[in-house]
Amino acid sequence: MYLIAGLGNPGSEYSHTRHNIGFKVVDEIVRHFNFLGEWQSKFQGLNISGKIPTIPDKIICIKPMIYMNRSGISIAQYANFYKIPLENIFIFHDELSLPLTKIKVKQGGGHGGHNGLKSIDQHLGKSYWRIRIGIDHPGDSARAKSYVLENFKKNELNTVDDIIQNCAEYLPMLLQNQPDSYMNKISLKLKETE
């Protein structure tokens, strides 16, 4: 089984913020691959499971419904309950240090100051996969905390939609242990739409 989590903050006031792009990707995965049924509430999160063509194992998508800095509590409960190894866990999250059209995939590593990753590291360990989705940097570190809770600008929305759709569409590459192909494919698709 694979566990795919998007990071974000619960509540409609946060739904279109930069910090919530992880939630958006997971929503699009569920829509794109036509997972059946409704989101269920469990372990302080929402979950839905389904199958993806070419991937034999079941996939469970989750969105922690506790604030970002505690999201590891929910993700660890799911991982432990379903006995999912860290190498089968994929976390989609926003990344301040990358420009809007860049995506980086890495297994393990540091949290880079991201409170969601910090919480997951603490409750689960570090060897899971991180899909870092660039959201740009405000240019001033003192502004970073408020910046991630801002909505995307109107002129960024088409790009954001393209990123979300591509992250979902090419997911099978990621699950088939082709992280470089996944990143390259998304990068090429985004260049086509520039």
Q: Which residues are the active-site residues?
A: 19
Structure tokens that stand for 184 in this block: 């390259």
Do residues 112 and 97 lie in contact, with contact meaning Cβ atoms separated by under 8 Å?
A: yes
- Of the CA atoms within 13 Å of residue 114, those in its CB half-sphere come to 31
Q: Under DSSP, is residue 126 helix (H, G, I), strand (E, B) or coil? A: coil
d(CA 185, CA 182): 5
Enclosing H/E stretch for 89: strand 89-95
Q: Do the bridges between strand 55-64 and strand 2-6 make them parallel or antiparallel, or are there none, so unpaired?
A: parallel
